[in-house]
Amino acid sequence: MNRQAKISLAKNLNEKMSFLSFEKRLSLTISHFKTAIFTSSLGLEDQVLTFAITNNKLAIKIITLETGRLFPQTKQLIKDTKSHFQIQIEEFSPNKSELQTYIDEYQLNGFYESIEARKACCEVRKLVPLKQAIKNTDVWVTGLRGEQSNNRADLPFAQYNESFDIIKINPLADVKLEEIWQIIKQNNIPTNPLHQKGYPSIGCEPCTRAIKNGEDERAGRWWWEQDQNRECGLHLPAENQRSNIQQNSEIS
């Protein structure tokens, strides 16, 4: 499928999914693609999607990015989730040579010194492993939600991701945090204990802090940077607009 066809299909799926529950969005996804991958960071949303995928026996492969800087609680949750759902979660780690090259240039914790260094760290620890993970995959499922931050407010249910040349599905785009917690409690889904300590969004340990009252869910990520649209690069703010699909579909 070429780029234009992917853009058109994403637009069509986005429209159809607006009338469906997130579970049916997942079912619709696998009805259109042969291979699907769900990238889980073991967050609340990801645990709910893992539950939905396993409970409905959906043919969606679950993977996670083991960056090498995860919280011990996150590492334990990976093990607990595998055991709880009796599933496999494939872990993708950074290339050792590329990681050493980064450390030689910026030092291990050089990401605190500049945005350039931080993005370079995200590149080697997240983006490169992700590219390997979704290689030869038809569709990429995420646990993103619109209310997580301002730059995700207009998150579509389906979109064409230019960076990875793949259709990305965000089945929880319009789901509220309250509903996420309700599903978790009703189904005894394992979660990260850090959520109870003020960490609604959990990434790498050196780059995540608890949030303060009134801050959005992702305020604790890369908190030392001033850019309010900060992301690791997996999910760029520029693509998180429903109108973007329509604009791209008009490109000749």
- Positions annotated as catalytic residues are 232
For 212-221, which contacts have Cβ atoms below 8 Å and span 24 or more sequence positions? 216/148, 216/149, 216/150, 217/147, 217/148, 217/149, 217/177, 218/148, 218/149, 219/149
Which residue(s) pair with 70 in the sheet? 204
Beta bridge partners of 92: 65
Instruction: Give the residue among 69, 63, 93 at the shortest CA–CA distance from 81.
Output: 63
CA neighbor of 232 nearest in space, from 139, 70, 120, 147: 120
Question: How is residue 184 written in tokens?
Answer: 């978790």
Tokens of 194: 């850090």
Closest Cα partner for 35 from 170, 157, 141, 142?
141
How many helices (H) does the chain have, and how many strands (E)? Answer: 9, 6
Distance, CA of 219 to CA of 185 (rounded, Å): 25
Which residues, other chains included, contact 225 with Cβ-Cβ below 8 Å and sequence gap of 6+?
115, 118
Q: What one-letter code names the amino acid at 151?
A: N
Task: Report the alpha-carbon distance of residue 151 to residue 146 in Å, rounded.
Answer: 8
* Distance between CA atoms of residues 50 and 44, nearest Å: 10
